[in-house]
Amino acid sequence: MKIKEVERVIYIKVLIILNYQREIPPFLITQVHIAEKYFNEIVYVTPTFRNDNSRSIQSKKTTIVQISKLDRLLSIVKTPLLFLNKEVLNECFQSFRKKKMSISYLKHLAFEIVPADMMSRVAKRFVNNNNDNEYFVMSAWFNASAYAAAKLKQKKIVLFTMSWAHAFEIDPERNNYVGLSLDSYKHYYLNKIVFISQIMKNKYLSKLKENNGKVNSEKTEVLYLGSEKKDKGTVNKVTSLDDSECFHLASCSGVNEIKRIDLILQALSKWNKKKIKWTHLGGGPLLDDMLKEAEKINSINSNVIIEFRGKMSNEQVHAFYSNTYVDLFINTSRLEGLPISIMEAMSYGIPVVATNVGGTSEIVNDRNGFLLDPNPTSVEICKALEQYYDLPKKDQIRYRNEALLQWESHFNAEKNLNDFFLKMVRKDRL
């Protein structure tokens, strides 16, 4: 992308990002950095941070607006009135017809409409105070923030609205109320819904069709978010392997029930090759339990070294891959959208062993890694690790280069998002 081409299409455009999370996820950090080429100003609307990583995006072009306590209180107080909105009443009626009406459903709906009211009010106030600009609104997820974006579009105070659709908010396995979460309203008013994987799009649209939801296919597309390679100096082609006597396995995720880190521990307890080191990047509620299990395995099998690094920033994760040779990356998750952790590992030429869940098969294949059954046994996981370990060096090098090629061809965020934001500001191409 030539900078001159970018400059030609910019005309006093402002991007408003809506995200009701208490920290900025890595994919949005990447998007903000790239979006700054295409917009004169970026406004990031968010609740008060719990984990304040706002320094990662603050710049002369980007302003972070945290929702005030007053705005939060106003939305909470008017909750009963929000349930009287036409689209919300319609959703309640549909849930009653489909025998989904319950206290749980009403709570779910409240978590859509109340945060949406907060975000849309803050965004509307900003627009009204700066009404000479063209406003584009981007929702980070297809949930409350997407509803807020749709409300802004309905009121005709912004030019263009879109939402990303990931996994937890659109996957029927993780959201019992797909099709009853104001989805038809969102589809009607949003200009574009962008799914992060083809599989997740298919699952969502299939469930929506069951619930008689209306979808304009021209408004939907699939775009791989990709990952940004922090260390641009790393090799783009692998020609040799590390000569360490220790086989290095790595993983990166939260330590919780969904990620099933215990399966990796169980697989390593069966390892009978030379010395292996497993490094896990990430923390979570089950970390203490995993540390105890790791101690047991270390005491039984001296060839296994286990290291838990705990919670790390995205910059620290990239620094780890840049400075540490890793033979293989592993993901044993029970549920996924399209894991950015796998993209990041592949960007450093690391092959992957992963469970075939969500959109994982769209990135991992038999040329760059090994797909496991969605519910693998520890024996099956260990066999996959040994299968790669036993490969001749030339084949391991081939796997590493295929991993690099997969990332560069399909999951390079800089390429993917440059094209996306250019199309966004050129409205006629969307």
Instruction: Please say whether the structural domain 247-410 has been given the CATH code 1.10.340.70.
Output: no
Distance CA 308, CA 294 (A): 9
Closest CA to 358 of 369, 342, 379: 342
Side chain identity at residue 395, one-letter code: D
- Domains 3-226+413-429 and 247-410 equal at CATH topology level: yes
Query: What is the residue extent of each domain of the chain?
Result: 3-226+413-429, 247-410
pTM (predicted TM-score): 0.87
Distances (CA, A) of 279 to 36, 155, 287: 35, 50, 13
| Two tokens, residue 275 | 């010395």
Per-residue pLDDT of the chain (430 residues; tens, 9 = 90+): 444 444 444 446 899 999 999 999 989 999 999 999 999 999 999 999 988 888 888 888 999 999 999 999 999 999 999 999 999 999 999 999 989 999 999 999 999 999 999 999 999 999 988 777 789 999 999 999 999 999 999 999 999 999 999 998 999 988 999 989 999 999 999 999 999 999 999 999 988 887 776 778 889 999 999 998 876 656 565 655 666 778 999 999 999 999 999 999 999 999 988 899 999 999 999 999 999 999 988 888 888 999 999 999 888 999 999 999 999 999 999 999 899 999 999 999 999 999 999 999 999 999 999 999 999 999 999 999 999 999 999 999 999 999 999 999 999 999 999 999 988 887 644 4
Distance in angstroms (rounded) separating the CA atoms of residues 398 and 335: 29
- When the candidates are 1.10.1380.10, 3.40.50.2000, 3.30.70.141, 3.10.20.30, the CATH number that belongs to 3-226+413-429 is 3.40.50.2000
Instruction: Give the integer Cα–Cα distance in Å for 157 and 191.
Output: 14
Tens digit of each residue's pLDDT (9 = 90 or more) over 302-312: 889 999 999 99
Q: Are 368 and 402 contacting, i.e. CB atoms less than 8 angstroms apart? A: yes
* Alpha-carbon distances of 36 from 16, 32, 39, 66, 185, rounded to whole Å: 12, 6, 6, 20, 30
- CA–CA separation, 328 and 247 (whole Å): 8
